[in-house]
Amino acid sequence: MTKIYKIFGEKVKKLRLELGFTQEKLSEVCGLHRTYIAGIEKGRRNISIKNLEKIAKALKVKPDELLK
């Protein structure tokens, strides 16, 4: 696991919790599997730009916000 994946995953989790979403709810909203979301939050997934956009939209932020 690299540091950028961990930081990205922590950001996704933080924003998800701020919206009051469970991993299940986030997965429904962005059309990705719950275990995929869990892997992202744990810093174990290398996601595509397409999925980055889906997650950002579901979390109501611009994609670059997830990378800061």
Which residues, other chains included, contact 27 with Cβ-Cβ below 8 Å and sequence gap of 6+?
A: 33, 34, 36, 37
pLDDT by 10s per residue, the chain, length 68: 688 999 999 999 999 999 999 999 999 999 999 999 999 999 999 999 999 999 999 999 999 999 88
* C-alpha pair distances (Å), 22 with each of 2, 12, 35, 41: 25, 12, 12, 12
- Does this model's pTM top 0.85? yes
Tokens of 4: 């950028």
CATH placement of domain 3-60: 1.10.260.40
Phi-psi region of 2 (alpha: psi -120 to 50; beta: other; left: phi over 0): beta
Which pLDDT belongs to residue 64? 92
Which pLDDT belongs to residue 68? 82
Which pLDDT belongs to residue 1? 60
Tokens of 57: 């939209």
Domain residue ranges in the chain = 3-60
